[in-house]
Amino acid sequence: MKPNFCLRLRVFNLNCWDIPYVSKHRADRVKRLGDFLNVESFDLALLEEVWSEQDFQYLRQKLSLTYPAAHYFRSGIIGSGLCVFSKHPFQEIIQHVYTLNGYPYMIHHGDWFCGKAVGLLVLHLSGLVLNVYVTHLHAEYSRQKDIYLAHRVAQAWELAQFIHHTSKTADVVLLCGDLNMHPKDLGCCLLKEWTGLRDAYLETQDFKGSEDGCTMVPMNCYVSQQDLGPFPLGIRIDYVLYKAVSGFCINCKTLRTTTGHDPHNGTPLSDHEALMATLYVRHSPPQQDPSPVQGPPERSSLINVLREAWTELGLGIAQARWWATLAGYVIGLGLIFLALLCILAAGEGAREMAVMLWTPNVGLVLGAGAVYLFHMQEAKGLCRAQSELQHVLGRARETQDLCSEPQLAHSWQQEGRAE
Amino acid sequence: MKPNFCLRLRVFNLNCWDIPYVSKHRADRVKRLGDFLNVESFDLALLEEVWSEQDFQYLRQKLSLTYPAAHYFRSGIIGSGLCVFSKHPFQEIIQHVYTLNGYPYMIHHGDWFCGKAVGLLVLHLSGLVLNVYVTHLHAEYSRQKDIYLAHRVAQAWELAQFIHHTSKTADVVLLCGDLNMHPKDLGCCLLKEWTGLRDAYLETQDFKGSEDGCTMVPMNCYVSQQDLGPFPLGIRIDYVLYKAVSGFCINCKTLRTTTGHDPHNGTPLSDHEALMATLYVRHSPPQQDPSPVQGPPERSSLINVLREAWTELGLGIAQARWWATLAGYVIGLGLIFLALLCILAAGEGAREMAVMLWTPNVGLVLGAGAVYLFHMQEAKGLCRAQSELQHVLGRARETQDLCSEPQLAHSWQQEGRAE
């Protein structure tokens, strides 16, 4: 690789709102999206909420000349909705489905049925290893009473861990997607602190688009006031995040968003705004490397966010156990009631009524059993994330102590402390 | 690191058969296991089927001085059953829960409720990065009619992919666990071909233990003839697998198994036999490196096993779709029957019977709905593994062509072929 090596990457990201039977003007929007992507010829187009595999196949065919590589990430019952189109071939493909993703009985929200996931594509560009991640986290339906907060924090942690463990030999890491989190939300901070990813919107010197970089805006005719909740001017929940390691540096030359219309001022392509980033990857002499070793202030902000996430997951565990206990009581009462019905059925007086009530009561016990098992599994999933966080927190504290109190820390190290 | 660097690793692996209310002499076996591990003082003890978290906590306390680091991998409803005790501290911890793991309605087999997973622990030993994986795959209940074969192949693929993507900076990779596969089974070959892991039993010059290295043997008083199926002399389904990369070499100096008794010829510690390996890691001069670049014969055996796995997953997909279709028909018939019951209930003649049949029929429709959704999700999961396999197969073929027909391959490369 030459010392004046420079790689330009043009990246497109959009949550497509492509839900069969639900989304308005779906076919027309997908067609116009395909036309736009063909004209613009990005290096990478990362899409979320493509719930129709037929639409993916349509786009794949339409884009086959401009983007010869494409992948659709299948998971869950409906799918992950994630897909990628690329000018450059994929070297490797893998995906990770999030352990926790809402509740099956919240059918009207539907996230549980989707199998939300993170997809990874490894590309080799001019001798450089580029790890591209695309994801979509659980939606936030109410900011005031967000019953999915613990799940979203757990997803953000799994996402951060997946990136951390799979990008160790990558020169450049790129994450695009709909995180369903505002920039200062706990999960977003956790993700950025643990992976070191930087936000294109905050980094670029040349931004043009919606105010404050919002990706859901009131000007978009598909967005209702209800979608924006207490943020009538818009929310920023879709991101382009990146980092470079091992002797490279990356910066965002330009970032554009659509502004409630399609790029030609027509009907919007989706209820979300598209993000279009131009990134430059260059060689970075060792002394100019963005330091991967965190000093005390960074370490302390990591510790704070880890602690906060640990607490939030703890609340989620308590909630999950409460529901499992409630379901346990319902099962107990249902079984007692079934026994009473058996006694009644054996007698003469109320046999008919007892027989009538038998089946709904069996249904109740089975339903409560399913709820019990689900919340037990939820508690286990949250405990798992919490124990991983606790381990990282322990290690981060050790490192902080090593920096601030070298002697004490040295004696700790000698002890070979356990988890 | 010195040029004559040499690291000895003593590793213990056991499927503990620690199932509350089911396994015989559980408390006594766990106690004796703890005593044995304390006396032997291995570097790492990797355990499977520790389904009781209380037993893990008991062992943790008992082993705290000899093995200061310990971790229990939580997942699913019951748990993954995996845990690790180590003399050396863990630098990093992560786990991956397999997407597919049997059927919830096969309650008597129970695997679905367990959340089978692979756990990863990263250790730094004398400046060397060691990735330790522990896992337990879906059981094989019938060799003749193995309805879980596609799931186990998909799990083996997910395991291989997880190791492949998370071990890129590791110097040494170690995988221990109960794979529930014989050495020449498809999933086992797929795992070894894709990761390059080598089998301690086949590699060591010094093996002592049960005949043919079997880990379930008829001499074990907890093993029934039914467990061994068509292999009355025993089966080998538990493994110690390893590889070294980046300038190191690893070999298995000794491998021991128990032989149907505990190490002191008492009652066995489990229904599986324990594996005890002594591994040596040394510096390897570049020319002695086990070549990570596969030549044509290795490539061709990888292609064969990938193709076979692809076909097996295809059969699994067809089966999953068949069940989903059947469930779809049941839903349709159930809805028609519900409509008929409404008509009957509206009349006078059979109102009572119609009301009686209403609830069980609703139950039938809901049950069939759940089966439909489950098998749709199963098909998606298998499709996902199949598409990843297909991608690797495509790339392996390209590389093979590159080796055998440089000119043709070069022209292919120029075309920048898509997936």
**pLDDT of the residue at B291:** 45
How big is the A-B interface in CB pairs under 8 Å? 124
Please judge whether B395 and A91 are an interchain contact, meaning their C-beta atoms are less than 8 angstroms apart.
Answer: yes
What's the rounded Cα separation, in Å, for the pair B352 and B345?
7
Record the pTM.
0.92
Say how many C-beta atoms besides its own lie within 10 A of residue A12's C-beta: 22
Chain B CB contacts of A71 under 8 Å are 387, 391, 419
CA distance A59 to chain B (A): 14
Interchain contact, B79 vs A356, CB within 8 Å: no
- Segment among A297-301, B366-370, B411-415 with least mean pLDDT: B411-415
Which of A77, A380, A388 is the closest to B79 by Cβ?
A: A380
Residues A257-269: what's their mean pLDDT?
Answer: 88
| Average pLDDT of every residue of chain A | 90
- Indicate whether A417 pLDDT > 80: no
In this prediction, residues B241-267 reach a mean pLDDT of 91
A204 phi and psi angles, rounded to 5 deg: -70, 150
- Mean pLDDT value across residues A131-145: 94
Residue B415 has pLDDT above 80, yes or no: no
* Percent residues over pLDDT 70 in chain B: 92
> Checking phi first, is residue B17 left (phi over 0); if not, alpha (psi -120 to 50) or beta?
left
Backbone angles phi, psi at A150, to 5 degrees: -60, -40
Q: Kindly indicate the confidence band of residue B209, based on its pLDDT and cuts at 50, 70 and 90.
A: very high
The rounded distance, in Å, linking the Cα atoms of B195 and B302 is 10
**How many residues does this entry show for chain A?**
419
Contacts of A90 in chain B (CB under 8 A): 391, 419
Q: Which of A54-63, A72-81, A341-350, B212-221 has the lowest mean pLDDT?
A: A341-350
B100 C-beta neighbours (distance < 10 Å), count: 25
Residues of chain A with pLDDT > 70, as a percent, come to: 92
**In the beta sheet, which residues pair with residue A92?**
A122
Residue A408 in this model has a pLDDT that exceeds 80: no
Judged against a pLDDT cut of 90, whether residue B201 lies above it is answered with yes
How close, in Å, is residue B275 to chain A by CA atoms?
A: 25
- Tell the burial category of A346 from Cβ atoms under 10 Å away from its Cβ (0-12, 13-18, 19+): exposed
Average pLDDT over residues A282-304: 67
What is the pLDDT at residue B346? Answer: 82
The pLDDT of residue B186 is above 50? yes
Tell me what the mean pLDDT of segment B269-290 comes to.
84
Question: Does residue B196 carry a pLDDT above 90?
Answer: yes
- Residues A97-119: tens digit of each pLDDT: 999 999 998 988 889 999 999 99
Which ipTM value was assigned to this complex?
Answer: 0.91
Q: pLDDT at position B163, please?
A: 98
Per-residue pLDDT for A163 more than 90? yes
pLDDT range class, residue B408, cuts 50, 70, 90: very low
State how far Cα B72 lies from the chain centre: 16
Is the pLDDT at A259 greater than 80? The verdict is: yes
Report the chain B residue with the minimal C-alpha distance to residue A91: B395
Best CA proximity match to A6, nearest among A291, A205, A286, A253: A253
The reported pLDDT for the residue numbered B405 is 57
Residues in chain B: 419
In A, which residues are within 8 Å of B75 by CB distance? 99, 380-381, 384
Q: State the best of B44, B74, B84, B195 to mutate against chain A, taking most chain A CBs within 10 Å.
A: B74
Exposed/middle/buried for B65, CB within 10 Å: 0-12, 13-18, 19+? exposed
Of B156-165, B169-178, B360-369, the one with minimum mean pLDDT is B360-369
Q: How does strand A275-283 pair with strand A238-244?
A: unpaired
Answer for the pair B180, B212: CB distance below 8 angstroms, yes or no: no
Distances (CA, A) of B407 to A279, B238, B310, B399: 35, 45, 29, 12
Please tell me the least confidently modeled range out of A178-192, A342-356, B69-83. Answer: A342-356
Instruction: Find tokens 């000093």 and name the residue.
Output: A295
Separation CA A380–CA B51 (nearest Å): 13
For residue B359, the distance in angstroms to the closest alpha carbon of chain A comes to 6
- Summarised one tens digit per residue, pLDDT across range B305-331 is 999 999 999 999 999 999 999 999 999
Which residues is B252 bridged to in the sheet?
B279
- Binned at pLDDT 50, 70 and 90, residue A54 comes out as very high
Dihedral in degrees, nearest 10, Cα atoms A349, A355, A358, A359: -160
Find the closest chain B residue to A93 by CA distance. Answer: B388
Residue B286: the pLDDT is 61
Written as six digits, the tokens of A300 are: 């302390």
**DSSP-assigned letter for residue A180:** -
At B357, the pLDDT band (50, 70, 90 cuts) reads confident
CA distance B37 to B50: 15
Query: What pLDDT, on the 0 to 100 scale, is given for residue A292?
Result: 46
Residue A112 and residue A103: Cα distance in Å, rounded? 6
- CB-based contact A359 B355, cutoff 8 Å: no
Lowest mean pLDDT across A355-359, B23-27, B58-62, B212-216 = A355-359
Average pLDDT over residues B396-416: 57
| Catalytic positions of A | 272
Residues in A touching B115 (Cβ below 8 Å): 377, 380
A411 membership: H or E segment, kind and range: helix A406-415
pLDDT surpasses 60 at A413: no
Q: What is the mean pLDDT of residues B49-77?
A: 96
DSSP state for residue A320 in the 8-state scheme: H
Q: Which of A162-171, A195-204, A279-288, A404-413 has the lowest mean pLDDT?
A: A404-413
pLDDT at A315 over 80: yes
What pLDDT score does A298 carry? 67
Percentage of residues in chain B with pLDDT exceeding 90? 76
A50: pLDDT strictly greater than 90:
yes
| Residue closest to B417 by CA, chosen among B397, B405, B406, B407 | B397
Q: Which residues of B touch A363 (CB under 8 A)?
A: 359, 362-363
Per-residue model confidence as pLDDT tens digits over B138-165? 999 988 899 999 999 999 999 999 999 9
3-state secondary structure of A28: helix
> Which residues of B form the catalytic set?
272
Contact check, Cβ <8 Å, A166/B166: yes
A415 falls in which pLDDT band (50, 70, 90)?
Answer: very low
Q: What are phi and psi of A61, to 5 degrees?
A: -65, -45
Asked if the model's pLDDT at residue B337 lies above 60, the reply is yes
Q: Among A165-174, A328-337, B243-252, where is mean pLDDT lowest?
A: B243-252
pLDDT at A295: 55
**Mean model confidence pLDDT for chain B:** 90
| pLDDT of A400 | 74
Mean pLDDT of A169-188: 97
Backbone angles phi, psi at B45, to 5 degrees: -120, 115
Q: Is the pLDDT of residue A205 over 60?
A: yes
C-beta neighbour count of B357 within 10 angstroms: 19
Mutation for testing the A interface, residue in B52, B90, B94 having most A CBs under 10 Å: B94
Q: How far apart are CA B356 and CA B348, in angstroms?
A: 14
Q: Is the pLDDT of residue A297 over 80?
A: no
- Per-residue pLDDT band for B404 (boundaries 50, 70, 90) equals low
Tell me what pLDDT residue B292 has.
46
pLDDT tier at A294, thresholds 50, 70, 90: low
